[in-house]
Structure 1
Amino acid sequence: MKIASVTSPVRGGTDALLSEVANLLQAQGMSLAGIVKDFGYAGVFENGCDTKVRILPEGPVTKITQDLGAGSDACRLDPGAIAQAVASVESGALEDADLFILNKFGPEEAAGRGFCSAIGAAIELDIPVLVGVGVASKSAFKDFTGGLATAIEPQTDAIIAWLRDNAS
């Protein structure tokens, strides 16, 4: 199974790294599928829980969080928006991708929803899968992959080396 995870110790570092890697690989002509955080969007909440993602390879950009008001401390993820993003990825050019990237294995994936089916489809197509995994989701990700994922250092060179070793 060609699946790897990356976790940055810096808040927001995994998102930034995966977006940077996606941009670099696309500039080199690689075909990508999945999602990365859109850094062109300035969220309105200081905790960073106001997110738009770019569906690879060429968009669209979509908001995956909902506005619950400034005082809310509930999870802002919008399951409907995530389902739409998943549908966009799965109906896109997944079969032609050189790499599948998921910016974050989060609560939806930990519950067996979200991008789990897209990850499975990429694996069935023998496409390498790169997933951002936060500390809170490491156990769920390990359960999801049966412990078969490779943990990669949060560095561009390490990701490129893993991809080179796992390219179809």
Structure 2
Amino acid sequence: MAIATVTASGGGATDRLLSDVVARLQGQGFRIVGALRHVAVDGMAGHCDSDLWLLPDGPAARITQQLGPGAQACRMDAGAMEEAAGLASSRLSEQGADLVVLNKFGVSEAEGRGFRAMIADAVAQGVPVLIGVSQTHRAAFERFAGGLSEDLRPDAETVFDWCRKAAHRTPAQSQNSAMEIPK
């Protein structure tokens, strides 16, 4: 099973790291499905409003809801989250992928929903999975993965190298697959 986690310190750091690595991999022709948390132009991921960019080419899915001023309840829109997970899962089934990348194993996944089924499907298909995991949900992820995941150091080169190796592609293969072949 090729599944790896990454946890970077600081608000939005894991989101930025994963976005950077995915952009580099896509630039080299890797077929990636999954979801990344939208990182704003200022480099910060929104705290109150959360959008997921569905890989490889969108759309953005708003997974939070407006509850009104002073609301204290969870802002997660469970229906929107499940819809986003369903779309990403169908892309994996219909298009295949070299790699699945998900911004995080969060509350939905810890409770058995969200992208959890997609992670299991990818592993069953032999597609490597890279996922952000916070300390808050680390124990739930470990129970889910059964100790079969690898924790990566949170730097771009380490994560990129793991992705390339897990997808069984060398830099030369990546460059060749990104080239257009004339018909």
Q: Work out whether 1:57 is the aligned partner of 2:56.
A: yes
Which ranges in structure 1 are unaligned for 5 or more consecutive residues? none
Alpha-carbon contact 1:41-1:52 (below 8 Å) kept: no
1:111 and 1:69 map into 2 onto residues whose CA distance is 26
1:106 paired to 2:106 = yes
CA shift for structure 1 position 81: 0.5
Question: Does 152-161 or 93-102 show the bigger shift?
Answer: 93-102
Contact 2:39 2:46 in 1 (8 A): no
Identity, in percent, stands at 41
Report how many residues are paired.
165
Q: Which residue in 1 is equivalent to 2:96?
A: 96
Displacement of 1:41 in angstroms is 8.0
The alignment partner of 2:104 has SS state of strand
In structure 2, the CA distance between the partners of 1:121 and 1:69, relative to structure 1 (3 Å rule), is same
Query: Greater Rg, structure 1 or structure 2?
Result: 2
In structure 2, the residue matched to 1:2 is 2
Q: Which residue of 2 aligns with 1:12?
A: 12
- SS of the aligned residue for 2:103 comes to strand
Cα distance, 1:47–1:128 mapped onto 2, change above 3 Å: closer
Q: TM-score under structure 1 normalisation?
A: 0.91
1:47-86 correspondence runs (5 A): 48-86=47-85
Give the match's secondary structure for 1:105: coil
SS of the residue 1:113 aligns to: coil
Distance (Å, rounded) in 2 between the aligned partners of 1:151 and 1:101: 14
- Does the 8 Å CA contact 1:21/1:156 hold for their aligned counterparts? yes
Per the alignment, residue 122 of structure 1 pairs with 122
Determine if contact 1:110/1:140 at 8 Å carries over to the other structure: yes
Question: How many Å separate the matches in 1 of 2:152 and 2:92?
Answer: 26
Which residues of structure 2 form unaligned runs of 5+?
169-183
How far off is 1:167 after superposition?
Answer: 1.7
RMSD: 1.9
Task: Render the CA deviation track for 1:12-35: whole Å, top value 9, x for unaligned.
Answer: 111111111111111111110000
TM-score w.r.t. the length of structure 2 is 0.84
1:21 aligns with 2:21: yes
What amino acid maps onto 1:78 in structure 2? Answer: D
Q: Which amino acid aligns with 1:91?
A: S
Aligned counterparts of 1:23 and 1:72: Cα–Cα separation in 2:
36
Range with bigger deviation, 21-30 or 125-134: 21-30
